[in-house]
Amino acid sequence: MRLSEDTCRARLVPARRGVLATRPVDRGPDLVPVCFVVDREHLAVPVDTVKEKSSTDLARRRNLDRDHRASLLVDHWDEDWSQLWWVRARLELDATPTPRLVRDLDEGLRAKYPPYVGTVFADVLVFVVTEMSGWSASS
């Protein structure tokens, strides 16, 4: 059954992880699990320094520099298939978010994910949520 936008938002906001999809020029989509926070019509994904990386120059950022569109998928899996659901947010990179918006999203990320408290993000990718859709096996 299709989910309403309100139901999609209600499931997206508290979700603990999602899969971000961006598009490189030379191949199919790049998919990566991410932490995120939603604030009204914006969604933010940190480029953090908590989880070990070889660099903060990530492919997702380079992909977004070329194509500002992305998608985020969250889902719920259960062996009881009547409990399955997913929500997809279509996103557009906000290349010039206001400092206040970035600060609010930064604070939201730290409130949602305790390991981020006291750390510095290398970047915060800010998106406008342009569309939400979803499906559930049951009402």
Q: What pLDDT was estimated at residue 108?
A: 96
Task: State the Cα–Cα distance between residues 72 and 68, nearest whole angstrom.
Answer: 13
Domain range 5-136, its CATH number among 2.30.110.10, 3.40.50.2300, 3.40.1710.10, 2.102.10.10: 2.30.110.10
pLDDT in tens, 49-94: 655 556 566 777 788 888 899 999 999 999 999 999 999 999 999 9
Q: What pLDDT was estimated at residue 129?
A: 98
Q: What pTM was computed for the model?
A: 0.90
Q: Give the residues across from 93 on adjacent strands.
A: 127
User: CA end-to-end span of the chain, whole Å?
Assistant: 7
Task: State the Cα–Cα distance between residues 54 and 1, nearest whole angstrom.
Answer: 42
pLDDT in tens, 113-136: 999 998 888 889 999 999 999 999
pLDDT in tens, 5-54: 999 999 999 999 999 999 987 888 889 999 999 998 999 999 866 555 56
The DSSP letter of residue 114 is: G
Q: What pLDDT was estimated at residue 55?
A: 58
Can you give the residue ranges of every domain in the chain?
Answer: 5-136
Torsion of Cα atoms, 94 then 61 then 114 then 17, to 10° = 90
In whole angstroms, how far apart are CA 57 and each of 8, 28, 53, 65, 123? Answer: 31, 20, 10, 12, 10
Q: Which residues contact 93 (CB under 8 A, 6 or more apart)?
A: 64, 68, 69, 70, 125, 126, 127
